[in-house]
Amino acid sequence: MANRNMTKEEIAQRVARFDQLQPMSTARDMADVPPAAMDVIFARTLMPVILEKTRNPFGETAAIFGAAGTTMNVSVCPPGQGPCLHAHNSTYETFMVLDGAFEFAVGEEGQETVRLNKWDVFSCPPGVYRGFRNVAATDSVLLTVITGEVDARDDVGVPPKITEQIRADYGEEVLSRFQKIVTFNEREPG
């Protein structure tokens, strides 16, 4: 590819201003789902910075579209909050704490943990369950970068224990709403 210049308009389409980021449109689209149920699946405030124009769990709102298979979000979680165990089957998910502290649980039962403080990074490979929660006394902020094939944005699944939790705490109707954006794995019979 030959080098080229960018116009002011092209540059403006590739700049994300933090004070202009919008919450993910999925939160708006699912406004009738109890906030406590949303807190199980997503960070309380999740603001997409970069999205591909493909199906993904974060919706259609972002400051920048298209970056060779990169999705970037800024998440703000109050103390104790953060998304449940989940796996990206085809993509890497890399996290950097921008402020505060998060504890990451890793494995189908979350049996391994690692604490990340400001500026610490954890990169999780495809197919590994991970979840995180804010362990600081105030809001914590996390930068998340998901990388992989452009069409691999819709690859998120949760372990059976989360399926059972959502079903027990919020019912089949809420579970079916989430099943439109995330794969809920069931326990194998027997």
Domain of 39: which CATH number?
A: 2.60.120.10
DSSP 92-128: EEEEEEEESEEEEEESTT--EEEEEETT-EEEEPTT-
Number of domains comprising the chain: 1
* Length of the chain in terms of residues written: 190
pTM above 0.85, yes or no: yes
Among 28-37, 130-139, 165-174, 179-188, the range scoring the smallest mean pLDDT is: 179-188
Across the strands, what pairs with 117? 101
| Domain boundaries, position 163 | 20-183
pLDDT of 118 above 90: yes
Tell me, yes or no, whether 127 lies in a domain.
yes
User: Could you tell me if 162 and 84 are in contact, meaning their C-beta atoms sit under 8 angstroms apart?
Assistant: yes
Residues 24-51: pLDDT tens digits?
999 999 999 999 999 999 999 999 999 9
d(CA 174, CA 169): 9
Q: Which pLDDT value is given to residue 151?
A: 79
Tell me, yes or no, whether 60 lies in a domain.
yes
In one-letter notation, the amino acid at residue 131 is: G
From residue 143, alpha-carbon distances to 10, 48, 115, 162 in Å are 24, 10, 15, 24
Q: Which pLDDT value is given to residue 167?
A: 96
pLDDT of 188 above 90: no
What is the mean predicted confidence (pLDDT) over 53-67?
Answer: 92
pLDDT of 152 above 80: no
What is the mean predicted confidence (pLDDT) over 158-183?
Answer: 95
Torsion of CA 38, 121, 12, 57, to 10 degrees: -30
pLDDT of 153 above 80: no
Tell me, yes or no, whether 122 lies in a domain.
yes
Proportion of the chain above pLDDT 70, given as a percent:
98
Tell me, yes or no, whether 4 lies in a domain.
no
Tell me, yes or no, whether 87 lies in a domain.
yes
d(CA 127, CA 132): 16
User: Strand pairing of 64-65 and 183-184?
Assistant: unpaired
Q: Which pLDDT value is given to residue 56?
A: 87
Tell me, yes or no, whether 117 lies in a domain.
yes
